[in-house]
Amino acid sequence: MNDRVESKRFIRHLHAFRGFAILTIVAQHAWDGQVWRVRNSEPSLGVSVLNAVSQTLFHDSTLYFALISGLLFTLVLQPRGWTSFFKSKLLNVVSPYIVMTLVFTAYGLNADYELAGFFQGNMTDYLMAVAANLLSGRAIYPLWYIPILIMLYLSTPFLVRVMADARTSWVIWPIMLAPLIVPRATWPDFSWTTPVYFLGAYAAGMFVGARYESALLLFRQYRNLLLLAVFLTTPVLIASFLLEVDRFGPVSMRETLWYVQKLAIAAVVLVALHAREARLPRWILTLGNYAFSIYFLHAILIVVFEEVEFQLADAFSVWALLAAGAGSYVFAIAVSVVLSAVAKRTLGARSRLLLGA
């Protein structure tokens, strides 16, 4: 997710894809927040539809980050060696994760996703809470992905060895296909299935990155089939929410469909961005620059927006929730970018260690 700073090679369309990914992640949280705030109100078909559409389009967008981390490893980072790889992850991923956990444990959200104020307790209690949050990623809800990402990084030598040996290269296929039957757990719960789910996308990124030009040609050739996959999974996902259908034994139909949908979208978007490599707009490259820091900052900003919004009114139509979600979306991205730019201008390269910017 923060691989941009780890290599001198700059692949513009992959950088833009990171910007696309962060847009979808913030979108999910912006409209999820609106639905969450009215969860105890009288049930409304409009709110149910808003939730179904938001979840369908944006849930599991962290799969894009797992995919791009795998892509960038084989395309850019692998030649630099393991010492450089893991050192960079400690500095550019683990370090800002620790800083953000310290910050959001000291001042963060309660169980109802509302501003909870400063930590109540002594220093020992605080440090114990920090330690627990570091292990679980629960200091604030987007941080759940960072422990998973660290597990993906730790799995990289195994995946490289498997892919490099003709006798074991077949193993990569069950790893990539496992998320079709192994669902992730719903936050804040944790299960062994969650890293397995994201390992599939990470391995797919490494696999595609190892043969990237051929893969892009294949994606371009079968673009209509990929679009068909998107157009078939999307209405089924929406219907699954409206009809409240998901589990078939241990298998989550939604998680299966999201995995297919998100990987198909990723392939289509990568082809489109690659075709416009020299003409990519500056704004999406800027979002790529600050994707990691936006990921850390956006949730608290969305909640700040909602705290003000819900003090101004206590009843909302679905159209008001839709508009308010859009407002919190723009607010969170804009303020995150400004804060990241100020941190980078003020602290220089050290801002990566603190904020990931």
At 73-88, the pLDDT tens digits run 999 999 889 999 999 9
Confidence band for 120, pLDDT divided at 50, 70 and 90: confident
The closest of 127, 150, 258, 256 to 202, measured between CA atoms, is: 150
Two tokens, residue 14? 């992959």
**What residues are paired with 59 via a beta bridge?**
none
Taking the C-alpha atoms of residue 257 and residue 23, their distance in angstroms, rounded to an integer, is 21
Please report, for residues 15, 73, 270, 293, 339, the alpha-carbon distance to residue 68 in angstroms, rounded to integers and kept in the order given: 9, 8, 10, 16, 24
pLDDT at residue 4 is higher than 50? no
Mean pLDDT, residues 30-35 taken together: 91
- Percent helix, strand, coil in the chain, to 5, is 80, 5, 20
Whether pLDDT at 221 is above 90: yes
Tokens 């407002």, residue located: 327
Alpha carbon distances (Å) from 247 to 175, 183, 251, 252, 253: 22, 10, 6, 5, 6
- Per-residue pLDDT reduced to its tens digit, 292-344: 999 999 999 999 999 888 877 766 788 888 999 999 999 999 999 999 999 99
Residues near 224 by beta carbon (within 8 Å), at least 6 away in sequence: none
What is the per-residue pLDDT across 248-290, written as a single tens digit (0 to 9) for each?
888 999 999 999 999 999 999 999 999 999 899 999 999 999 9
Confidence of residue 246 (pLDDT cuts 50, 70, 90): very high
From start to end of the chain, where are the E strands? 107-109, 115-118, 247-248, 251-252
User: Is pLDDT above 50 for 156?
Assistant: yes
* The residue type at 303: V
Q: In sequence order, what DSSP letters do the residues of 221-255 get, joined into one string?
A: HTHHHHHHHHHHHHHHHHHHHHTT--EETTEEHHH
Closest CA to 291 of 100, 23, 27, 71: 23
| Mean pLDDT (the chain, rounded) | 91
176: nearest Cα among 155, 156, 152, 204: 204
* Residue 129 amino acid letter: A
pLDDT score, position 188: 67
pLDDT at 42: 66
pLDDT tens track for 179-212 = 999 998 876 677 889 999 999 999 999 999 999 9
Residue 27: name the closest of 226, 202, 287 by CA: 287
SS3 66: helix
Helix boundaries (H) for 59-122: 62-72, 82-89, 95-106
Domain boundaries, the chain: 3-355
Helix (H) or strand (E) holding 292: helix 291-312
First-to-last alpha carbon distance for the chain, in angstroms, is 11
Interval 137-151 mean pLDDT: 94
- 241 confidence band (pLDDT: 50, 70, 90): very high
292 Cβ contact partners less than 8 Å away, ≥ 6 residues apart: 1, 2, 92, 93, 96, 356, 357
Chain center to CA of 230: 19
Distance CA 272, CA 16 (A): 11
Q: pLDDT class for 12, splitting at 50, 70, 90?
A: very high
Give residue 3's pLDDT.
42
User: Is the per-residue pLDDT at 133 higher than 50?
Assistant: yes
Look up residue 272 and give its amino acid: A
Give the 3-state secondary structure of residue 9: coil
Whole-model pTM: value is 0.92
CA pair distance 91, 108, nearest whole angstrom = 24
CA dihedral 48, 51, 52, 55 (to 10 degrees): -160
**pLDDT level of residue 110 (50, 70, 90 thresholds):** confident
